[in-house]
Structure 1
Amino acid sequence: MAAESLAESRFRVMGSTGHLLITGGVDLVEPARGLLRELELLWSRFRPESELCRLNSAPGTWVPLSPPTLALVSRAVRAWDVTGGLFDPTVLPALEAAGYDRTFDEVARELPGSVRPVPAFGCSGIEFRDDAVRLPPGVRLDPGGIGKGYAADLVAQWLRAAGADGACVNLGGDVRVWGTPPGTGAWSVAVEDETRPGTDTAWLSLTDGAVATSTRLRRRWQWQGEERHHLIDPATGSPAAGDAVTVTVVAGEAHWAEVLAKAALIAGPEAGAELLETHGVAGLLVTEDGTARSAGPWERFVSWTPSSGGTSPASAG
């Protein structure tokens, strides 16, 4: 593909690194980044003026929301329902109790005092009416990974409608691809080995779909000599402590891949693999000792692993 028909941009967004790779739409990079900035302003839990903060600060009140925010909250509640509460956007009080009450760059690496776990409230009391949402008292939402995943889906959708030939939208590891990739063949997406940073577990080949990884080996801090992380078990309100440390999911949409990756990690290797297969997606679940277990049609997407020999292909994002 001619260089002039390929556009690429890396930037900080939503507390992580964003990477856009667009074919046949070099003039679409800045508008796409602008859309991501708009979504971050709507959904950030660290900006008091955001729609999310406005919703969280008004329990018992009908709060009008823009279509993207209404859609995000709706998807988060549905995800809670279909995963049996393994994915729960009401874990915000638990995250704050664990010390994640500011941007991660500002989180204290050693928290003083006692931290008391706060089990998640669940979504059963959240109400929808036209373009408004009402949260019950005590419930506050953290869109977390589903927000990045849904943002990747929305940007990919917008680029398709705007006339691009193809795109890879990567928001902190939540990847959505579609259309014509650079060169020939399909999009190649790397899955990092979280137990050995800087190396890859596998490379996946996709023409239209999404990849998301949930891991408790990143976003960590110290509390009373113990490692803490941001993946909260909704049932206990404490950081998840099961056997699974990393779950990668291939699905049709990035937000759905993100939801199922997090739910499977909370569930553990066996129940997590069953969950992924029940929902008809592919996945790889890795335990603390490095044992990997695939679920669904995982091998269908694998184009390279370290045991394949040779060098890995070039990454799309």
Structure 2
Amino acid sequence: MKQLDDELGVRFLAMGCGGDIRLAGVPMDEARALAELAIREVLRIEYKYSRYRSDSIVSQINAAAGNGEFIVLDDETAQLMAYADKLWDFSEGLFDITSGVLRRAWDFKSGRVPSTAQLEALRPLVGWRQLELVFDVQISSTSVRLTRPGMEIDFGGFGKEYAADRAAALLMGKGVRHGYVNLGGDIRLMGPRPDGEPWDIGVAHPREADHAIATMKLSSGAMATSGDYERYMDVDGHRYCHILHPWTLMPVMFWRSISVVSSVCSAAGALSTIAMLKQDQAPAFLRSQGVTWLGVDQSGQVCRGAP
């Protein structure tokens, strides 16, 4: 933990990325305890929804794919599944949490582009409409079933953003009014600096690690970034990134990154990811949403928009 005058900055690792919690205007002893509480909340969400953990609810749902079994969901998971359903509908099918199965073909550590046959073999497993959500009014519970063997869901498209929102909400519930939660560049603010000035939030440079390409001055709300620099491989002069289009089964290539400012991190993250998937239609889409955004196209040109 690092003390900076009247601020406490805590760095940690979670969800496969670096985290940073910044608290200001809170006594140091109290701030340390609050930061630890927020970190535990982030880790709780990671453990509960990680596809890498065999005991997570996501792994339980995926393991039952195609066997006809419905998995009963707790309220939190049911709400996240409902959110995924809304995002699929809102994005006209672009934001699809069943498309993570494509990583079986897209192994970015291999340095090899999968064949058309490899990708087409996975196409039948991609499709939100092949997932069944059922609400039982008698016991007020929601259940889910993946109808095809081999199908998977993956909350990676909004997991970090949800965790940032939850951690920040927990801190605000404890009276924190100045600071932010940052999970790998997905940021939820709890309020301005104690003197009322905004925080300077850097936007990651998509080609220069540990550098910012721009700075946003923010006092509230959230900012999230989607880009082609998180998980990728370069093959024959082309960069193939982890953001995979559920229809073409190919990585998106129009933008290097898109950052969006919104009221909560979950919304900012969803909008930035959908914008990446919309490719050349991203500016029109983001204008229609009335949000502030910053994009870097494949030539390196910075594009901006504001309400």
TM bin, normalised by shorter chain, reads 0.7 to 0.9
The counterpart of 1:78, out of the listed 72, 76, 86, is 86
1:50 aligns with 2:52: no
SS at the partner of 1:208?
coil
SS at the partner of 1:49?
coil
Match of 1:204 in 2: 216
SS at the partner of 2:38?
helix
* 1:223-243 CA-partner distances (Å, limit 9, x unpaired): 6996432110111112223x2
Task: Single out whichever of 229-238 and 137-146 deviates more from structure 2.
Answer: 137-146
1:274 aligns with 2:284: yes
CA contact (8 A) 1:63 1:132 kept: yes
For residue 255 of structure 1, report the CA deviation from its aligned partner.
Answer: 1.4
Match of 2:298 in 1: 288
Structure 2, unaligned runs of 5 or more: 136-140
For residue 112 of structure 1, report the CA deviation from its aligned partner.
Answer: 9.5
Match of 2:138 in 1: none
The counterpart of 2:229, out of the listed 193, 217, 226, is 217
* 1:55-84 CA-partner distances (Å, limit 9, x unpaired): 111134221233332222221221111011
CA contact (8 A) 2:165 2:188 kept: yes
CA contact (8 A) 2:101 2:152 kept: yes
The counterpart of 1:181, out of the listed 193, 208, 212, is 193
- Matched letter for residue 190 of structure 1: G
Q: Structure 1 residues 285 and 68, CA, compared in 2 at 3 Å: closer, same or farther?
A: same
1:124-203 equivalences in 2 (<5 Å): 124-126=129-131, 127-129=133-135, 130-138=141-149, 139-181=151-193, 183-203=195-215
1:92 aligns with 2:97: no
Pick 1 or 2: higher relative contact order, CA cutoff 8 A, min separation 6.
1
For residue 99 of structure 1, report the CA deviation from its aligned partner.
Answer: 1.8
* 1:231-261 CA-partner distances (Å, limit 9, x unpaired): 10111112223x2221111111111111111
Task: Single out whichever of 32-41 and 200-209 deviates more from structure 2.
Answer: 200-209
CA contact (8 A) 1:72 1:150 kept: no
- Matched letter for residue 173 of structure 2: A
Match of 2:16 in 1: 15
Structure 1, unaligned runs of 5 or more: 101-107, 298-317
The 2-side partners of 1:128 and 1:280 are apart by 34
The 2-side partners of 1:34 and 1:50 are apart by 16
CA contact (8 A) 2:185 2:204 kept: no
Q: Structure 1 residues 112 and 238, CA, compared in 2 at 3 Å: closer, same or farther?
A: closer
The counterpart of 1:68, out of the listed 67, 72, 76, is 76
For normalisation by structure 1, the TM-score amounts to 0.82
The 2-side partners of 1:45 and 1:80 are apart by 20
- Matched letter for residue 97 of structure 2: P
Q: What is the percentage of aligned positions where both structures have the same residue?
A: 28
CA contact (8 A) 2:206 2:228 kept: no
For normalisation by structure 2, the TM-score amounts to 0.85
SS at the partner of 1:268?
helix
The 2-side partners of 1:172 and 1:258 are apart by 12
Count of paired positions: 287
CA contact (8 A) 1:94 1:238 kept: no
* 1:241-283 CA-partner distances (Å, limit 9, x unpaired): 3x222111111111111111111112113x1111112222221
- Matched letter for residue 38 of structure 1: R
Match of 1:253 in 2: 264
- Matched letter for residue 206 of structure 1: L
The 2-side partners of 1:80 and 1:121 are apart by 12
Match of 2:128 in 1: 123
For residue 166 of structure 1, report the CA deviation from its aligned partner.
Answer: 2.7
For residue 91 of structure 1, report the CA deviation from its aligned partner.
Answer: 0.9
- Matched letter for residue 282 of structure 1: T
The 2-side partners of 1:289 and 1:279 are apart by 25
- Matched letter for residue 129 of structure 2: S
